Amino acid sequence: MRTLVIQGDWLLRRSHYSNLKISVYDGMERSYLGGVVGFMDKLRQTLTSHITDKVVVVWDGAFDGWDKYVQHPSIRAKKEPAWNRRYKAAHAHHSQLSSKEEHELHILKQRSLLQSILTALNVRQIEEERSESSDAIALYVNEAITVGEDVLLLCREHEFFQLLGERVSILLHDDRIITAASFPAAYGYDPTNDLMLRCFIGMPHAGISGEPGLSLHHMLHFFHGLKLEHYPYASLISYARKRRLEPRAPKTYDTVLGASDIVRRNSKLINLKSPIFNSELEQEKNFCLYSPLETSDGERAVELFEKHGLRSVIQEDPRAYFLPFQRIRLKEGEYALFHEEITI
């Protein structure tokens, strides 16, 4: 079975800001729909180009990382503006919103519509209020590959390089596929070293800092072993201790040796082989992996498109528009039938 796993908020936001001109006006209010259209176009294109049996879209919770960063106030402080912006967009009057908050409101509305459309198209979804999509995706993928699923990830790629393996590949936005085998030629290092590298340099987009003065370029330039094969942390530290004693040794070696606290912290926060999760997220993962869906014929998706003015936007018969989802419906139906047979 081949499963397409999508980082929902990443693709929706990317699509929204790339398609701001796509909107409809009902005489009272303008509704932005570029996020929905862009997301659906990318999903349809992927289903058409790559044989897929199952689709899972994973969303950030409204307070993603709430539990994860409770003991890390500096990171939590970077997350709070996004939490507050989402909350205000969902609850405040339109006139009280800043420009950023208005966009957040438009994204939240599109998110809700998109989730309804995806449900009608037999797409599975995971969302837990306090969990980050990265941990939720890792939790799903790590178990899915043990029960026979091959996973294709459509995501913010550098966040998930550490998951690459025999059964996990990543679909880039330009439709190229990165595998564990093709990764070194594309990025210049062995993918099994990605987690260690991120522990040193951090994940700035997620508010997780690295050791000041270190970058991916620095690490690859001064530690050539990272490029060739798996390079254990102990070997890297041993090499740095040896090189720092040489005359006019670059400061990078001392910086690496002084980064143990940052590395220790980051190894817990960004290790997707051991993601941070709660019981609610585990239940969501289990449902997506093992529970049959009550499949839909897609008519509800057609109704939603017409109700929200999307028919005029796509300029296509919705029934033809949704054809790429036919295989998903058939495969989910087969799984439901199989599940029913083995439980009788």
CA distance 141 to 149: 9
Mean pLDDT confidence for 73-93: 89
Of the pLDDT bands very low, low, confident and very high (cuts 50, 70, 90), residue 30 is: confident
143 closest CA partner among 294, 335, 287: 287
Compute CA 201 distance to the chain's CA centroid, rounded to the nearest angstrom. Answer: 20
**165-204 per-position pLDDT tens digit:** 999 999 998 899 999 999 999 999 999 999 999 999 999 8
- For residue 225, give both structure tokens: 């072993």
Report for 96-105, 124-133, 298-307: range of highest mean pLDDT: 124-133
Average pLDDT, the chain: 93
Backbone dihedral region for residue 315 (phi beyond 0: left; psi -120 to 50: alpha; all else: beta): left
What fold does the segment set 2-160+274-343 form as a domain?
Answer: Rossmann fold (3.40.50)
**Rounded Cα–Cα distance for residues 43 and 55 (Å):** 9
Which pLDDT value is given to residue 218?
A: 92
- The tens digit of pLDDT for each residue in 107-138 reads 999 999 999 999 999 999 999 999 999 999 99
Highest mean pLDDT among 63-72, 249-258, 286-295: 249-258
pLDDT at 340: 60
Which is higher by pLDDT, 241 or 30?
A: 241
Q: Structural domain boundaries of the chain?
A: 2-160+274-343, 189-269
pLDDT digits (tens, 9 = 90+) for 321-338: 899 999 999 999 888 776
pLDDT value at position 343? Answer: 52
pLDDT score, position 344? 47
Provide mean pLDDT across the span 149-172. Answer: 97
User: Sign of the C-alpha dihedral, residues 107, 109, 110, 115?
Assistant: positive
- Where are the alpha helices (H) located in the chain, listed in sequence order? 8-18, 34-49, 73-91, 99-120, 133-144, 183-187, 194-201, 216-222, 225-228, 233-243, 252-257, 260-269, 279-290, 299-307, 310-314, 318-321, 326-343
pLDDT band with cut points at 50, 70 and 90 for residue 286: very high
Identify the H or E element spanning 6.
strand 2-7
pLDDT at 91: 86
Amino acid occupying residue 251: K
Amino acid 314: pLDDT: 78
User: Are the CB atoms for 38 and 110 separated by under 8 Å?
Assistant: no
For 14, counting Cβ atoms within 10 Å of its Cβ (0-12 exposed, 13-18 middle, 19+ buried), the class is: middle
At CA 125, angle to CA 120 and CA 269, rounded to 5?
165
The residue with greater pLDDT, 205 or 7, is 7
| Residue-level pLDDT at 327 | 93
Better-predicted residue by pLDDT, 21 or 25: 21
pLDDT tens for 238-282 read 999 999 999 999 999 999 999 999 999 999 999 999 999 999 999
Query: Is residue 341 over pLDDT 60?
Result: no
> What is the pairing mode between strands 30-32 and 23-25?
antiparallel
